[in-house]
A = this chain, B = another copy of it.
């Protein structure tokens, strides 16, 4: 494998094509898909050579991939993923970690690292990812592009490998807000277009962010206020982000082991740094904690629906930190993971939709600003992101 292959977002040998549609709303655009979506006739590696070795090539193409192709976008191929989508830095020791073109000495973010990288490099207009705990939102923030975690259940994950099904969502990236929205018009169900507002700052998530990150996002926050009016300020109070993280992790771990544990136990696959440890922790998850996590999640969802069901929008930094440096220690990576998941778990636990807007840079590294809305409001949220981008003077 060449250095170029190692740094590319595309899978080595992952270039592929699909029958082109003539015309359609995405005509003239290109797209790629994370290598956990099936494309008929191609292997789905799920980021791990042992997975690839133990699974046959796909016989059908995932509906989300087909939908983009049928809407006129030209398919370019598969993109790299963190092994079994279980990691947020974007590292892949087997196929190479995709370059973060905005800050090449830092991680691209993951698990949808390849999809973020190819969009950030301008190699594709749209790239499908998937987001369980932040796997679209974090690389979008790190690479300085748009990313959406749609409402849970709103976009088909048929033909996509699961990690923790009650959190798994499809998601996608684009370098421009209008393109992010166009893809949504193809992928999302009809409806949910009623305008959103007011905007609510979630105090805990702003406090949790690195001060430089929070400060850098203020102008973008003001652009949002120009669109939606002055922000209210909310504190979740009883739910600390740490508690959210713990409950999220308990449920995710139990599900990840239920979903992939049999294969891991049977195959005893080789894993890159961190991945095996995460599966070991998933295997050891106390069922009582997972049960408590599910009970918490049910109440949290009800509360969030009551808060956001009228159209209110949460706003906070997508990630509390800029991308960690390549070569960050395992301890630093674990810390980053914990403080990050506490924020990304808000939408994860709530089943909410979230769009990350490339809003600022800190030390030349991008940071995203997230707008978060009630389940089913994805289309309005994408329209709002486009309005905000316009206010910010970003290219549409």
**How distant is A381 from chain B, measured CB to nearest CB, in Å?**
13
**How distant is A225 from chain B, measured CB to nearest CB, in Å?**
9
Question: Contact between A235 and B236 (Cβ–Cβ < 8 Å)?
Answer: no
Give bound CA distance, A24 to B310, whole Å: 36
A143 at the interface (CB under 8 A from B): no
Which B residue's beta carbon lies closest to that of A201?
Answer: B237
Give bound CA distance, A259 to B269, whole Å: 81
Given that A310-B374, A374-B310 are contacting pairs, would A303 and B237 also be in contact in the complex, using a CB cutoff of 8 Å? no
Question: Which residues of B have CB within 8 Å of A229?
Answer: 299, 302-303
Main SS class of interface, A: loop
A234 at the interface (CB under 8 A from B): yes
Which residue, of A229, A235, A237, A303, has the highest number of chain B Cβ atoms within 10 A? A303
Identical copies in the complex: 2
Query: Which chain A residues in 155-202 approach chain B with CB under 8 Å?
Result: 196-198, 200
A309 at the interface (CB under 8 A from B): yes
Q: Residue A303 contacts which of B197, B235, B309 (CB distance < 8 angstroms)?
A: B197
Question: Which residues of B have CB within 8 Å of A307?
Answer: 198, 200, 232, 307, 310, 312
**How distant is A303 from chain B, measured CB to nearest CB, in Å?**
4
A224 at the interface (CB under 8 A from B): no
Question: Contact between A232 and B231 (Cβ–Cβ < 8 Å)?
Answer: no
Which B residue's beta carbon lies closest to that of A299?
Answer: B229
A308 at the interface (CB under 8 A from B): yes
Give bound CA distance, A374 to B302, whole Å: 17
Question: Contact between A197 and B310 (Cβ–Cβ < 8 Å)?
Answer: no
Query: Which chain A residues in 215-236 approach chain B with CB under 8 Å?
Result: 229-236
Which residue, of A229, A232, A237, A302, has the highest number of chain B Cβ atoms within 10 A? A232
Question: Contact between B299 and A306 (Cβ–Cβ < 8 Å)?
Answer: no
Give bound CA distance, A196 to B305, whole Å: 10
A393 at the interface (CB under 8 A from B): no
Question: Which residues of B have CB within 8 Å of A198?
Answer: 302-303, 306-307
Question: Contact between A306 and B302 (Cβ–Cβ < 8 Å)?
Answer: no
Question: Contact between A234 and B236 (Cβ–Cβ < 8 Å)?
Answer: no
Question: Contact between A303 and B374 (Cβ–Cβ < 8 Å)?
Answer: no
Which B residue's beta carbon lies closest to that of A230?
Answer: B238
**How distant is A388 from chain B, measured CB to nearest CB, in Å?**
16
**How distant is A237 from chain B, measured CB to nearest CB, in Å?**
5
**How distant is A319 from chain B, measured CB to nearest CB, in Å?**
23
Question: Contact between B310 and A305 (Cβ–Cβ < 8 Å)?
Answer: yes
Question: Which residues of B have CB within 8 Å of A230?
Answer: 237-239
Which B residue's beta carbon lies closest to that of A234?
Answer: B234
What are 15 sample pairs from A and B whose C-beta atoms fall under 8 A apart? A196-B306, A198-B307, A230-B238, A230-B239, A231-B237, A231-B238, A232-B236, A233-B237, A234-B234, A305-B310, A305-B311, A307-B307, A307-B312, A309-B311, A310-B310
What residues make up the interface of A, taking CB atoms closer than 8 Å to B?
196-198, 200, 229-239, 299, 302-303, 305-312, 374
